[in-house]
Copies of this chain bind each other. A is one copy, B any other.
């Protein structure tokens, strides 16, 4: 399953040139600054821009020099950057619009599922002007899901939602994605959201793909600007080792050792991915005792890099077969005498499971 793209478009001084073949499975995050062409790219994939391009989804040619499958026959779901609800329908009408246009046997999400997934129970008879910004966004997501698409395009779908709603919706969305196996192309500015959700990452810069590939490998690459983000971090593969119900902890074995994280309802041996943010990682020369930091693994410093803020340094540490990022002050780096190749202990304050 893959999405093959080749397009080139110029609008005034802006130009978008994309050539690539990205796996269409799980969540592919489209990450880039404002105005780099993320929305434009989604529109091209959806068939909303008429321009010479080549778009192939899972071996179905959607567009090339000789043919153009119009948007309504591409079986996509599109959550627009602005919620764009139908003003002449209430919430239920909006939700049913796409649902009705799928044959019953092709429906993979029921109205009730979508409604409870996005917490719309009390809003069904509201008209769009009677909704708050975040409520509108949730309706738009539910509407797209109910079209049972083969590919879901989401343009910053959670930007107007509060953390609690996000925390509620994201895991359910992830489960739905896995259950239904709908690949998602997900535009976001928030690296945190991306790290949490994405399997693949496409990094756009000024209309060009700067890098594309599995999230893990891109996050810790020294040549990409991702380390500079507040929420920079790394993603590790591992397997559930055991559970500690007393402290509500689960242990995950990664290449470099054992990590404790919040209790998960997963059988031992289950393969998981965990996320470790650079800001949660500190370095020590000895494994500390008597600290609340519970995860400490030995590693080897790969390199140090100055950040935008000269008081900070980003240290890449090889832990087992993985690379972790650690953000430390320059003073600490000097005082601890951190140099390339040196052995250190990484103290990890917090490890998050990426629902996989």
Q: A279-B349, A288-B288, A292-B283 are in contact. Are A310 and B263 (CB under 8 A)?
A: yes
A window 274-298: CB within 8 A of B: 279-280, 282-286, 288, 290-294
Q: A309-B262, A326-B292, A330-B248 are in contact. Are A349 and B162 (CB under 8 A)?
A: no
**Size category of the binding interface on chain A:** 35 or more
Residues of B within 8 A of A290 (CB): 284-286, 336
Q: A191-B163, A248-B310, A310-B248 are in contact. Are A292 and B286 (CB under 8 A)?
A: no
Residues of A near any B CB (own CB < 8 A): 11-13, 32-35, 37-39, 81-82, 122, 126, 130-135, 138, 155-156, 159-165, 167, 189-191, 229-231, 244, 247-249, 260-263, 279-280, 282-286, 288, 290-294, 309-312, 326-334, 336, 338, 347, 349-350
CB distance B160 to A34 under 8 Å?
Answer: yes
CB distance A160 to B156 under 8 Å?
Answer: yes
Residues of B within 8 A of A263 (CB): 310-311
| 25 sampled A-B residue pairs with Cβ under 8 A | A33-B162, A34-B132, A34-B138, A34-B161, A34-B165, A35-B134, A38-B132, A81-B133, A81-B160, A82-B133, A156-B160, A159-B159, A163-B231, A247-B334, A249-B311, A249-B331, A262-B310, A280-B349, A282-B292, A282-B349, A284-B292, A288-B291, A290-B336, A291-B336, A291-B347
Q: A81-B160, A262-B312, A288-B284 are in contact. Are A330 and B34 (CB under 8 A)?
A: no
CB distance B132 to A330 under 8 Å?
Answer: no
Bound-state Cα–Cα, A11 to B263, Å:
42
Q: How far is the CB of A80 from chain B (nearest CB, A)?
A: 10
Q: A135-B34, A163-B190 are in contact. Are A122 and B13 (CB under 8 A)?
A: yes
Q: A34-B132, A163-B189, A329-B260 are in contact. Are A291 and B280 (CB under 8 A)?
A: no
